[in-house]
Amino acid sequence: MGQTSARLFTRVTAAPAIAISAWLLVAFPLLVAGAFTPLAGALLGVPAVALGLLAAARLVPPAPAAESGEDVPWWPLVLTVLIAAAFTAVQLAYHAETLVIRRDPASYAQFAFWIAEHGSLPIPQQRELIAGDDPALIYDSLAYYEVGEVVWPQFLAGAPLVYAVGYWLGGTTGMLLTPPVIGGLGVLTFGGLAGRLVGVRWAPLAALVLAVCQTQQWVSRSTYSEPVAQVLLLGALALAFDALTRRSALGDRWGLAHALAGGAGLIFGLGLVVRIDALRDLLPLVGFVGLLLLARRGQALPLLAGLALGVGYGFTAGYGLSRPYLEHLSDSLNPLLLISAGVVAAVALGVALLWRRGVPRTDRPRWLPAVGAAAVVVVMAALALRPLVYTDYGHGDAVTALYIGQVQAFEGLPADPDRTYYELSLYWVGWYVGLSTVLLATFGAAVLARRILLRREPQWVLPALVLGWTVVTTLLRPAITPDHPWASRRLIVLVIPAFILFAVWFTAWLTRRLATEPAVERRAVRTAVAGLAAAVGAAVMLVPTAITAWGVMTYRSDVGSVAATRELCRAIPDDASVLIVDGAYANFMQLVRGMCGVPTAALASAVPQADAARVVEEIRERGRTPVLAAGAPEDLRPFLPEGTTMTNPFDVHTEQDPSTLMEPPSGPWIFDDDLWIAVVR
């Protein structure tokens, strides 16, 4: 019974990352080829996912406790699955309807809608159906770049390729319901990673803390990319753990361990298809491959090969389908690329120089493990003290500074629009999982650093490298607009899971130490004290996390947008060409072009009324019906012939995500959005 439950635990918790990566392996080439259709997805993608899951059933070993002969009960798996299922159900009930582009989720939603409907990129402008090359017209909007006679979406294709499946299965609502499912799979995957690294019995606690976390709930309600990236990167860590449980030398015949290592590397690399900043998170993996080579471990080469293939997919996604976005990020991306090349070169050189000596002995000199533990505490203390000695400035973007100034005014804060608030990043983590969790995680990371350097926790080397590197680099410079909950999305893929994982590990380690303390002779006393420590540890993680999370449990963002979009599209004639005459184009152009399926442009003119009249005539000359649109009736009326009727088919008055700077969000803001149109006969 123990072996069966142990095998099911690892296989079930590895399945989400394997399924998503198998889908991306097939779906991304289909999109590149312009053949991303439901039929192609069914014929190629479904078998790929099935084969991946079948391979996992054969390759993934049981949980470590079973390998050592310990009985593994069923309840950790059952509880972890139930927690993930309950999380999914709650997020499905509170899912957002974010379709109007203000920030990233609607951008991803429109991206997913387009490729689900059309199966290819780029998006044609269809300027020949509006007014040709009329200089008064533009075709770009928020998160959509005009390049020549086409439009390119801003972000990478990974998350839209996943959310498009929801659209195929259930239309727009199905697409919007997919992120809660992926978020639930993230909770399940994290529970699996914790079960491997901490112990199967601790998996439900880790999964529960993440499930309760406000940020995990928030990003799982909208079409963000973070849920997909989280499943891939946490799942890759879990599979790498599985691969390394088997001993294998460099010259050994390739077998199960090699296949698992190759799969783990591939899944790591595919994270780059979802988010370009995953490149930073992958740098420690290069160093770890170098350590495996020095240790003559057979998993090194397949891990490296899988990583190279996945990264190749990622760079193709970036420079093939999202080049304007990467050019926009060039000031930060180009240095990262140079750093990455430097890391690869340094690791290659280090392996060459140390090849005969092998892996350096980190337990010699004897003081090094203690220094490693102290370094963890010093780094965390420095991050905690940073707000007392330093205030970070410089968004590098005037629009961001303007918005931060508006939020400061709304919150009654001193006007300081250039402030980034990055010095508070460690406290952001404390907002969402409690400063008590941060403290436990610090202790856990320090103890783990010492034990790793003493060569007592080899299974923790890769997770500690990846998670520790990501925590430090992210908290030093989050590189995101600092209002919340928006900024917290930078933390949810790996940073918040890292703090939870280290905190749960420390609680488990302390509990075991107390349960076996030789100074206490009575077993019942040791057991009671250990149980109390476990209960207190769980409580100090869960209670503050739940208190903060309550703020997102009271609303659904942008509710009514799906119905309003249907009304808008019904109000626009099938043969229409739409001209948006005011600033509403930034938010609505891709929605009208994509979801309503009509050619759409915006007016950018010094003499707008005269140019609009000319464009209307050009639309008529092409045998199409002119439709003018604006965000308010007073903006639309001056462009209309006398007697033309205006209607307001997109009329949404509901709630949206808030923006806070000095405290965690505790409730929604009001969301009002309109699009007025007039059919010019």
Residue 418 has pLDDT above 60, yes or no: yes
- In contact, 466 and 498? CB cutoff 8 Å: no
- In contact, 330 and 337? CB cutoff 8 Å: no
Q: What is the mean pLDDT of residues 482-506?
A: 98
Please indicate, yes or no, whether the overall pTM of this predicted structure exceeds 0.85. Answer: yes
Would 435 be classed as within a structural domain?
Answer: yes
Model confidence band, residue 1 (pLDDT cutoffs 50, 70, 90): very low
Give the C-alpha distances (Å, rounded to integers) separating 651 from 59, 307, 349, 360, 672: 53, 47, 62, 66, 8
For residues 571 and 626, state if they share a domain.
Answer: yes
The H or E element spanning position 651 is: strand 647-656
SS3 state of residue 250:
coil
pLDDT digits (tens, 9 = 90+) for 330-379: 989 999 999 999 999 999 999 999 999 988 888 778 899 999 999 999 99
Max CA separation in the chain (angstroms) = 95
- In contact, 85 and 184? CB cutoff 8 Å: yes
User: What pLDDT score does 553 carry?
Assistant: 76
Q: What is the mean pLDDT of residues 154-179?
A: 98
Q: Of 553, 571, 587, which residue is a domain's last?
A: 553
SS3 state of residue 73:
coil
For residues 430 and 536, state if they share a domain.
Answer: yes
Would 351 be classed as within a structural domain?
Answer: no
Residue 255 has pLDDT above 70, yes or no: yes
For residues 525 and 469, state if they share a domain.
Answer: yes
For residues 545 and 564, state if they share a domain.
Answer: no
User: What pLDDT score does 63 carry?
Assistant: 82
Query: Omega before 76 cis (within 30°)?
Result: no
- In contact, 40 and 107? CB cutoff 8 Å: no
For residues 371 and 382, state if they share a domain.
Answer: yes
| Token pair for 514 | 């107390």
Q: What is the mean pLDDT of residues 216-223?
A: 97
Model confidence band, residue 68 (pLDDT cutoffs 50, 70, 90): low
Would 111 be classed as within a structural domain?
Answer: no
Determine the Cα–Cα distance for residues 2 and 205; give it in Å rounded to an integer: 20
Determine the Cα–Cα distance for residues 673 and 651; give it in Å rounded to an integer: 6
Would 105 be classed as within a structural domain?
Answer: no
- What is the distance of C-alpha 617 from the center of its chain? 46
For residues 439 and 527, state if they share a domain.
Answer: yes
SS3 state of residue 673:
strand
Residue 26 has pLDDT above 90, yes or no: yes
Rounded mean pLDDT of the chain? 95
Residue 221 has pLDDT above 60, yes or no: yes
SS3 state of residue 14:
helix
Binning the chain into helix, strand and coil, the percentages to the nearest 5 are 65, 10, 25
DSSP state of 669: E
Structural domains of the chain, count: 4
User: Among positive and negative, which fits the CA dihedral 412, 418, 424, 425?
Assistant: positive
- In contact, 351 and 294? CB cutoff 8 Å: yes
Query: Omega before 599 cis (within 30°)?
Result: no
Q: Of 495, 524, 553, which residue is a domain's last?
A: 553
- What is the distance of C-alpha 417 from the center of its chain? 27
Among 194, 179, 220, CA closest to 79: 194
Q: What is the mean pLDDT of residues 168-190?
A: 98
Name beta bridge partners: 138: 602
**What percent of the chain has a predicted confidence (pLDDT) above 90?**
88
For residues 149 and 199, state if they share a domain.
Answer: no
For residues 406 and 505, state if they share a domain.
Answer: yes
Would 596 be classed as within a structural domain?
Answer: yes
Residue 604 has pLDDT above 90, yes or no: yes
Q: What is the mean pLDDT of residues 568-576?
A: 97
The residues near 24 (Cβ < 8 Å, ≥ 6 apart) are: 158, 161, 162, 270, 273, 313
Residue 566: domain span: 122-156+556-679
The residues near 428 (Cβ < 8 Å, ≥ 6 apart) are: 478, 484, 487, 488, 491
The residues near 480 (Cβ < 8 Å, ≥ 6 apart) are: 486, 487, 489, 490
Give the C-alpha distances (Å, rounded to integers) separating 638 from 620, 633, 634: 19, 9, 7
- In contact, 127 and 138? CB cutoff 8 Å: no
Q: Of 235, 262, 280, which residue is a domain's last?
A: 235
Determine the Cα–Cα distance for residues 557 and 655; give it in Å rounded to an integer: 5
SS3 state of residue 241:
helix
Half-sphere exposure of residue 478, counting CA atoms within 13 Å on the CB side?
29
Would 98 be classed as within a structural domain?
Answer: no
For residues 179 and 225, state if they share a domain.
Answer: yes
For residues 455 and 316, state if they share a domain.
Answer: no
Would 113 be classed as within a structural domain?
Answer: no
For residues 643 and 570, state if they share a domain.
Answer: yes
Would 63 be classed as within a structural domain?
Answer: yes
User: What pLDDT score does 2 carry?
Assistant: 61
As a dihedral over the C-alpha atoms of residue 37, residue 38, residue 39, residue 41, rounded to 10 degrees, the angle is: 80
For residues 269 and 416, state if they share a domain.
Answer: no
